Structures are given as C-alpha cells and as structure tokens.
Amino acid sequence: MREITYSQAINEAIREEMRRDPDIVLLGQDIGVYGGTFGVYRGLCEEFGEDRVRDGPLSEAATAGFGIGLAVAGMRAIVEIEFMDFSPLILDAVANQASKMRYFFGGKVKVPLVLRMPSASKLGLGAQHSQSLESWFMHTPGLLIAMPSTPYDAKGLLKTAVRQDNPVIFIEHVRLYATKGEVPGEEYRLPFGSARIVREGSDVTVVAIAMMVQEAVQAAGELEKEGISVEIIDPRTLAPLDGETIVESVKKTGRMVVTHEAYRTAGVGAEIGQVALEGAFDYLVAPIRRVAGKDQPIPAGPLQDEVFPDRDKLAAAIRDLMEEG
Amino acid sequence: MTDEAQHAAAVSPEQALGWYRQMVHIRKFEEKVVELSGRGLVSGSTHPCIAQEAVSVGCISALNAEDLVLATYRGHGTFLARGGDPKAAMAEILCRETGCCKGKGGSMHLCDPDIGFLGTNAIVAAHIPIASGVALANQLKKTNRVTLCLFGDGASCEGAFYETLNMVALWKVPVVLVCENNGYAISVPVKKSLSVPEIATRAQGFDMPGISIDGNDIAEVYETTRRAVERAREGGGPTLIECRTVRWERHSALSAGFYESREERKRWQVVDPIPRFRTVLTGQMAVQASVLEEIEQEAEEAAEDAAEFAIRSPLTGTAQLEQDIFA
C-alpha cells in the first residue's frame, strides 16, 4: 500500500471532503497561500479559493464564533487553531456555545463544526507552545474528540468528523505531521468510539494517547526482550471513549499503565484509569499507573525532556509494575 | 413637534398601530412573566425587556421575512417581535414540554429557526461572532438575507465584540449590530465601565458606520435599522447602531441589591416608549383612544392565555433529558 505522511493524510481528507461538499469553509490564520502553520493546508487555497479557505485575523475567539455561525446557518466550518496552547482563547465558543447549543435550543439547530488544533511537545518552544490540553475538552459534554496517532487514523477519523452534524475537537500532533504510514487511496472513514489494539500482549495493558503510541511501541519492543508482554491500546477518540476495549484488555492482562504527554493531574489518564477500575477491578493484580507530563510549566531548551514521558520512563514504570505483582 | 413626532410623520397609521400592538403585547407578556416569577413558576431568574420594547420592535420590523435575528438573554421581546409564538415562549420560560425549545433552554434560550430567529444567548457578547458567522454564510451563499444581532452595553466591553467588528468590517459581512445601551451591566453603570460613553463611536476605528440614536423612539429605531439593513443587503457591509435606552428597575426578576438612587431605578418610567408613542398616535395620527384601549385589552388577554397555556402544559420530563445533545 502507498505511504503518506500524517500531514498529507489530513490534507487529503479535507481536500476530498471539500470537493464533495461545496458548503465546507475553512477558517483560521495563515491557512491561505501560506498553507497553514505546519503546511497541512498546502494547495487548498489554490484549489478552493480564498472564500472557502479564509485567512483571517488573530481573533481566535471570534473565529470560533464565526465557525459556529456558519454551521448553524447550514454550512460546515473547519477552524484551525495554530497550537492547542491557544485553545483557551476559544473555550467559551466550545464549552458554552457549540457543545450546548443544540441542547438548549431543544434540537432546533445543528452545529457541524470541526476545530482542528495540534498539540506539540519537545520542540523547544517553552511553556506556551508545548501543551496537550485534551482533558479540558473531555470535561465538556456535547463534544466529539479525536486524537489520532497515525496517518491512517488521521484521515479516516477526520473524514468522519467533517461529516458529523456535531462539534468535533480534532487534536493533531506537530511531531506526528512528518511521520509516514500506510493509507489506502480509496475512500474510507473510521468510526468514533472504536479503540485500536496496536499490539497484542498478555502481561500489561498500556493505553497510549497520540505521540505516546509510538513511544509505547518502542518500549514494548524492549520489554519483550525481557520477557514482558505488552498490549497497547490507542483509544483514537476520547469522546466517545471505547471503554469496553480497554476494560476487556485489562481483564486479560491484570495490569494497566496509561500514558500521555498532558499534565498528569486531572489528565485524561485519570479518567481512563477510573474506567478500567470500575470495569475490571477484580482482575487487577497491581495499581493502575500513569506515565504522564509533570505538573508544572514546560521549560524551553533541553530541560523540557524532563517533563515529558518517553519510552524509557514508560518501560521503567512497566518493569516496576511487574515487580509489584 | 417633538423628535418622535417628526420621525413618526413618515410612518403609515397601519405600521404605527402594528408597532404599538407589538410593544404592548411584549409589555404585558413581560409583566406576566414577572408576576409568574413572583409566584415561583419561572425556573431560575428572568430578565425582562420592560422599557426596551421600542428597540426590539423597531429594528426587527425593518427586516424581511427571510432575514435572521440573534439576541440576548433579555430577549423575550425580540422573540415576540419576530413573530414568535407567545405560548411557546411562556411555556419555555416555565420549562414546559410545549416550550419553543422543549423546556430545556428556559428564559434565556428562546429559538425558532422557522421564523428566522436563531436564538437568544446567555453569555454576554458570545453571540456577536456567531451572528456574524450566520451572516457570512449568507454572504457566501449569496442569499440576500441580512442578519440582525442585538446585544447590550455590557457586551460592548467584551473582546468578542471588538474582534467581530474588525472581521465584519474587513469582510463586509451583511450584519446589522444593534447595541441596546440601557445604562447598566447588572449593577455597574456605563460611567464606571465605558471610557467613551457613546458606544457607536467604536465603529469609527473599523471604518464602518456607527450611529447613536434614541432607542425609545420607535420610528427612529425603525428608520435607522431599515437603512442599515438596506446597506447590508446591497453589499455595503455592517453597521453598528447604538440604541440609547433605559432598563427596567432591576437586572433580573430575582436581582438583589440596589444600584443608584431610587430616582434612577424609576427612570425608565419617565422615558417609557409606550406612553410616548401613544401620545404620537392619539395626537398627530388622530387614533381614537378606544382603538388603543382595545389593543391593550387584547394584549392583556394574550399574556393571560400564554400563561394559562404554559401552566397547563406538563413540565418537561425525563424522557427529554438526554435528547438533543447530539444530532
């Protein structure tokens, strides 16, 4: 099968959907001829024109509001937020408007809106360009949330997201943009709420989010040499969360580690761990562990490596866990 | 001749009576809501638009049937002015299943897309970019529809307002922004919140027209909005209209605390748009007092009917609880 990058996969998904549906409009900053901060939109402005690929001012809050307005008026908006760190600027539009509007209007409106935003890590960009803030959105009912870790998942989930009549938070990762993977040329879409078992194993379940999926794969390879069999699950979407696949895996392995780059405290790992605890308590032979970002502002420079989890920290946590029981 | 009489001179008696009827219907409706709130029948609080009826009726009557309206939590009057069903509104305010939003929105969320009313919003200024997005959609689809967005003086202090002014002016979005400057954001008077008290001047910095008018002069509200709507429809872009008005005595039916002086709280009665317009009607337009009394009686009955309908309707039940979260 052909291989394309994560960035190309997203570009293809949007291009295909925009060719299919003339009501799709892209809003954001640097998305026109510049092609998006990370080049994800390369060529879209040339193909679809400035009306549909609409560069706008640095007004994230109003841009998100415009996106909701377009959606309510029967179009489909895809809003790009350049870094997820800037998403606090659109929180009202997401948390008080898009996610609740259909409900408080008694089903009289639809909000087909996709908010794309990349999280980043280890780029040396410091405290305001390195965060994964997905738990803020997971704490908001009324949203769908995808966080793909491969080009295949990115394209399939984004195509599903764009056809939703609901608001979707689509979280990409800057360090995944250049990664390659197999993506079929023909049309496909992936359902939300269906986790992927990345690797089967019998001793411990690792639920890994976004960038940590490939770190977990590396760690599992190392641990296999030591006789530890790791099962890796990528939830792919956080809302809905496929708790069933996670619980079934934990019932099989009896051990669980959740790993994400986001801050540890009240990170999505806490929720995912609790889902496993409620569903598979009697099967657990050791406490659930979290291998996550340190609860502190992220420094610029090499010191940043100390705050983020990686394959070594994950492997060490798994070894500890195996010794416990 | 008063300014009001001059502005009304160009208006037909039918139109003038229609305005009076709508304003009185809204007033009686709101008085009924306050009464029901006092009886504990209104869920949460409610924000009457008493004394601001001329803004709702004046600007909404300048729209075509296919145009769109978004407004604020002090928005019962806008919903009714747009032709919203008073029974469905009252039922919504009382959280009944017959409400326009199935009783799940409450007083601050009225909506009826069938009449081009895309809802009232309870986060100050958040709906200004949303309304402008609605207008952008109509610009892109070349529908010729104009979107009207009402908000308060408090909203003019929010970032979303300024961001939106820039964007709608930049893109010549067919939206008319109507600021109902009633002098207060809950308890804070504009003299404590605005560096330049005339909100319409905000438009200058964005190279769009900004007009400040007497919001309790219905003919002036209508005529100013009509021109702005025409301009938007012809591709001329947005207009900011500041309607200087006065709020009813409290922020909401449940508001605690005092604001300025007792005189200040009763200020609305001095500039009340309804008796002012009644004088124009009975004076220069020579409408018989009995005609107006009939309208007043009919409005009273309509409010009573709406209340009865709402009270008789069942409270929205558990079957609705988890409905309408996702499409």
Query: Which homologous superfamily is B3-313 in?
Result: Thiamin diphosphate (ThDP)-binding fold, Pyr/PP domains (3.40.50.970)
Which chain B residue shows the shortest CA-CA distance from A106?
A: B101
Using CB atoms, which residue from B113, B132, B327 is nearest to A69? B132
Residues A242, A158 share a domain: no
In a domain, A190, yes or no: no
Decide if A69 and B133 are in contact by the 8 Å CB cutoff: yes
Which chain B residue shows the shortest CA-CA distance from A94?
A: B126
Can you give the pTM of this predicted structure? Answer: 0.96
In a domain, A103, yes or no: yes
Decide if B136 and A69 are in contact by the 8 Å CB cutoff: yes
Decide if B163 and A142 are in contact by the 8 Å CB cutoff: no
What pLDDT, on the 0 to 100 scale, is given for residue B258?
64
Residues A22, A160 share a domain: yes
Which chain B residue shows the shortest CA-CA distance from A99?
A: B325
The pair of structure tokens assigned to A3 is 């291989």
Q: Which domain holds residue A242?
A: 196-324
Q: What is the distance between the alpha carbons of residues A14 and A54, in angstroms, rounded to a whole number?
A: 14
Residues A112, A30 share a domain: yes
Q: What is the distance between the alpha carbons of residues B129 and B116, in angstroms, rounded to a whole number?
A: 17
How many angstroms away from the CA of A34 is the closest CA of chain B? Answer: 20
In a domain, A188, yes or no: no
Residues A222, A176 share a domain: no
How many angstroms away from the CA of A261 is the closest CA of chain B? Answer: 29
CATH number at residue A101: 3.40.50.970
E-strand spans in A137-187? 144-146, 168-173, 180-182
CATH number at residue A246: 3.40.50.920
Q: Last residue of a domain, which of A131, A155, A182?
A: A182
Q: How many CB atoms lie within 10 A of CB A231?
A: 23
Tell me what ipTM this predicted complex has.
Answer: 0.96
Using CB atoms, which residue from A65, A108, A164 is nearest to B160? A65
Using the predicted structure, report yes or no on whether residue B203 has a pLDDT greater than 90: yes
Count of domains in chain A? 2
Residues A214, A160 share a domain: no
Residue percentage of chain B with pLDDT more than 70: 98
Residues A107, A71 share a domain: yes
Using the predicted structure, report yes or no on whether residue B250 has a pLDDT greater than 90: no
What pLDDT, on the 0 to 100 scale, is given for residue B142?
97
Residues A147, A124 share a domain: yes
Partner A contacted by B134 (CB < 8 A): yes
pLDDT per position in chain A (325 positions), as tens? 999 999 999 999 999 999 999 999 999 999 999 999 999 999 999 999 999 999 999 999 999 999 999 999 999 999 999 999 999 999 999 999 999 999 999 999 999 999 999 999 999 999 999 999 999 999 999 999 999 999 999 999 999 999 999 999 999 999 999 999 999 999 999 999 999 999 999 999 999 999 999 999 999 999 999 999 999 999 999 999 999 999 999 999 999 999 999 999 999 999 999 999 999 999 999 999 999 999 999 999 999 999 999 999 999 999 999 998 7
Decide if A25 and B140 are in contact by the 8 Å CB cutoff: yes
Residues A171, A35 share a domain: yes
Residues A290, A163 share a domain: no
Q: Which amino acid is at B224?
A: T
Using CB atoms, which residue from A62, A101, A111 is nearest to B129? A62
Partner A contacted by B169 (CB < 8 A): no
Decide if B160 and A57 are in contact by the 8 Å CB cutoff: no
Helices (H), chain A: 6-20, 44-52, 60-72, 91-92, 101-104, 134-138, 151-162, 211-225, 243-253, 268-280, 311-324
Return all residues near B290 (Cβ < 8 A) that are at least 6 apart: none
In a domain, A267, yes or no: yes
Residue B87's alpha-carbon distances to B46, B72, B99, B218, in angstroms, are 16, 20, 8, 25
Residues of A with Cβ-Cβ distance to B126 under 8 angstroms: 65, 92-93, 96-97
Catalytic residues of A: 129
Q: Return the residue in A50, A75, A100, A108 with the most chain B beta carbons within 10 A, the one to mutate for interface testing.
A: A108
Partner A contacted by B186 (CB < 8 A): no
Beta carbon pairs, A and B, within 8 Å: 143
Q: What is the mean pLDDT of residues B243-271?
A: 79
How many angstroms away from the CA of B268 is the closest CA of chain A? Answer: 31
Q: Return the residue in B130, B134, B158, B323 with the most chain A beta carbons within 10 A, the one to mutate for interface testing.
A: B130
Q: What is the distance between the alpha carbons of residues A182 and A200, in angstroms, rounded to a whole number?
A: 20
